Amino acid sequence: MMNLLGIVGTNSDHSTNRLLLQFIQKHFADQANIEICEIKDLPAFNKPKGREAPDEVQQLAEKIMEADGVIISTPEYNHSVPAILKSTLEWLSYTTQPLIDKPVMITGASYGKLGSSRAQAHLRQILDAPELKARIMPSSEFLVGYSLQAFDEDGNLKDENKIEELEGIFHDFIHFVEITNQLLGKNHTQKRVQKFSWEDN
**pLDDT the model gives residue 198:** 47
Q: Calculate mean pLDDT across residues 95-114.
A: 92
**pLDDT the model gives residue 78:** 86
Q: How many domains does the chain have?
A: 1
Q: How many residues does the chain have?
A: 201
Q: Calculate mean pLDDT across residues 157-170.
A: 96
**pLDDT the model gives residue 2:** 96
Q: Calculate mean pLDDT across residues 44-48.
A: 88
**pLDDT the model gives residue 195:** 53
Average pLDDT over the chain, rounded to an integer: 90
Query: Please, what sign has the CA dihedral across residues 127, 128, 133, 135?
Result: positive
What is the pairing mode between strands 32-38 and 2-8? parallel
| Between 193 and 106, residue with greater pLDDT | 106
CATH number of residue 170's parent domain:
3.40.50.360
**pLDDT the model gives residue 140:** 85
Structural domain of residue 40, as residue ranges? 2-200
| Between 198 and 38, residue with greater pLDDT | 38
- Residue 142: pLDDT band (50, 70, 90) is very high
- Residue 191: pLDDT band (50, 70, 90) is very low
Lowest mean pLDDT segment, chosen from 13-22, 63-72, 181-190: 181-190
**pLDDT the model gives residue 190:** 47
In 10 A of CB 62, how many CB atoms?
12
| Between 13 and 50, residue with greater pLDDT | 13
Q: Calculate mean pLDDT across residues 132-140.
A: 92
Sequence-separated (6 or more) residues with CB below 8 Å from residue 78: none
